[in-house]
Amino acid sequence: MTDISTQPAEHESPSASAAPEATGSPAGDDSRDSGDLFHESEIAADYVEGLLDILDYDGDIDEMVTAGRPVVEVVGGRLQALVGTRGATLEALQELARLAVFRQTGTPSRLLLDVGGYRASRRKELAAIAKNAAEKVKEYGEAVRLEPMNAFERKCVHDVINALAGVESESEGVEPSRRIVVRPVD
């Protein structure tokens, strides 16, 4: 079995953290309409804006609904500290924003928080890692274990692998050491 590790993005500082994507929300909750979801993003945006004020950081905040989930994006300079190493700080902030939404609505949220386009950039990196792993699996016929990833990262990799023929993926282990194994299709 081959082990493939990811490297931090060039834009990440050594002290930055990676945050997992939205998890821990009710599966199949189709009862909320886009108005409810947008309201969740507004609540989260207000919460994040308050944090930025406390930290004396400048950033523009956009709230929206994308793919059936509330999204808050923060853009501006000097925001890398809000992302942290491989998004860890971003994940923590996302969980705090979800808690703020839950506190006001009484409903768990699948809110997605992004800072400085980190998630889009990380998705591209993960797609390359997934394709590289799939190529190795196809070439050598052996399973490839990727480094531990958070839920956001694992979902990105699973999505890429699921779109490729001849390989499959599954997660193994427990947080924070949960990882993906890419295998040839039997």
> pLDDT tens digit string along 59-97?
999 999 998 999 999 999 889 999 998 899 999 999 999
Residue 26 has pLDDT above 90, yes or no: no
- pLDDT of 34: 80
Selected residue with higher pLDDT from 45 and 28: 45
> pLDDT tens digit string along 102-124?
999 999 999 999 999 999 899 99
Selected residue with higher pLDDT from 3 and 91: 91
Three-state secondary structure readout of the chain: CEEECCCCCCCCCCCEECCCCCCCCCCCCCCCCHHHHHHHHHHHHHHHHHHHHHHCCCCEEEEEEECCEEEEEEECCCCHHHHCEECHHHHHHHHHHHHHHHHHHCCCCCCEEEECCHHHHHHHHHHHHHHHHHHHHHHHCCCEEECCCCHHHHHHHHHHHHCCCCEEEEEECCCCCCEEEEEECC
| Residue 101's pLDDT band (cuts 50, 70, 90) | very high
Looking at residues 130-136, what average pLDDT do you find? 97
- pLDDT of 31: 56
- pLDDT of 86: 84
> pLDDT tens digit string along 141-169?
999 999 999 888 999 999 999 999 999 99
Handedness of CA 150, 134, 140, 9 (dihedral sign): negative
Residue 172 has pLDDT above 70, yes or no: yes
Three-point CA angle 70, 180, 156, nearest 5°? 30
Question: What is the chain's mean pLDDT, rounded?
Answer: 85
Residue 17 has pLDDT above 70, yes or no: no
Q: Is 86 left (phi over 0), alpha (psi -120 to 50) or beta?
A: left
User: How many Cα atoms within 13 Å fall on the side-chain side of residue 111?
Assistant: 34
Looking at residues 4-17, what average pLDDT do you find? 35
